[in-house]
Amino acid sequence: MSRSYDCADDTRRKDGIADAASAVRRGELVVLPTDTVYGIGADAFSPAAVAGLLKTKGRGRDMPPPVLVGSVRAAQALIEDFGRYGRDLIDEFWPGPLTIVCAATPSLSWDLGDTKGTAAVRMPMHPLALELLKEVGPMAVSSANVSGRPAATTAEEAAEQLGESVSVYLDGGPCQDDVPSTIVDLTYAVPRVLRTGAIPIERLRAVCGTVLGETKRRASGPDGGAESAKEPGEAEGEGESAEEAPPPGETQDRATENAAGDAGETEEAAGRAGDPSRE
C-alpha cells in the first residue's frame, strides 16, 4: 500500500524522507516535488527500477528519463564531458531549472534506456528533492504523470494518476510554478536548446555567447497526421510532462540531416552554423 507524507509537518517530513529513501534502495518508485512539477523517481542505478518507472508512465526505452542529482559533485561522477560551457552553465543556473545533455561516463553501471551514450542531468532547487537526493544519490526522475496526461502539480494529482504503483508520496504542497526546465544539448561545440523552459535563451547566451534556438520538427501524431513535437517529459504539455529530457543522444542521429537545413527549423536557428538538435 502506498504511503503519503505531509512534509509541511517536521516529523512527517523526517519520516517521509526516511521511508522514501528506503523505498528507493529497494528498487521501488517514489513521488517527490521539484522546482518545476512533481516527479516520479527511482534509483538511477537499478535497471529494474528504471524499467518500472517507464512502465508506470507508459513509456518505452526510446524515451529515457533524465537524472536528478543532489550536488555538483554527483553530476561530475556521471558526466564524462561537460563540453566547453557546461561548468559555466552549472555555476550560473544550478540548482535550478536547467537540464544539460552531455556525454555520460562510459563505465557507469546503469541502464536508463536508449541514451546513446549521453545523460540529461539536473540539480533541482527544492529542499525536499535535494534532501532525498543527498540521501540516496542520483535518481532517474520523470514528471509524475501517465504519458498523455498533464504533469502533476500536487501530490494528490500524482496519486490520482499513478496510484499504488508508487510506494511513497512526499507531499510538499502545490508547485509554485509549472514551467518546465530548459534543456540544453552540450554534446556539440555550439550549445543548442532542445526545449524552451524556465531559463530564456537570452540568459543562456549571456553565459555561452552563441546558443542555437529550439528546432520545431514535425512528427507523426497518433492519428497518423503531422504534429509539432513536444518535449517528452521532464516537460509539460500535450500530456508529456515538463521534466523529461528528449531521448539523450538523438541529437547525434539527426545532426547531419539538420545541418543540411531542417525544414522545420525555427527562424531563430535558421542560418546559424549547423543544427545539432533532435528537437
CA gap 158, 165 in Å, rounded: 11
Residue 56 grid coordinates: 508506470
Burial 211-230 (b: 16+ CB within 10 A, else e): bbbbbbbeeeeeeeeeeebb
Average of per-residue pLDDT across 148-167: 97
pLDDT tens-place string over residues 163-222: 999 999 999 999 988 899 999 999 999 999 999 999 999 999 999 999 999 986 533 333
Q: Which of 39, 57, 266, 272 is nearest to 172 (CA)?
A: 39
pLDDT at position 62 is 96
Residue 49 grid coordinates: 527500477
pLDDT at position 225 is 33
pLDDT at position 31 is 98
Query: Residue written as cell 500536487?
Result: 154
Residue 142 grid coordinates: 520523470
Domains recognised in the chain with CATH numbers: 3-259 (3.90.870.10)
- Whether the link from the prior residue into 64 is cis, omega within 30° of 0, is no
Average of per-residue pLDDT across 7-13: 98
CA gap 82, 84 in Å, rounded: 7
Angle at CA of residue 21, ends 48 and 126, nearest 5°: 105
β partners of residue 148:
none
Neighbours of 74 (CB within 10 A): 18
pLDDT at 141 over 50: yes
Q: Which of 130, 33, 142, 26 is nearest to 75 (CA)?
A: 130
Q: What is the pTM of this model?
A: 0.80
Average of per-residue pLDDT across 83-108: 97
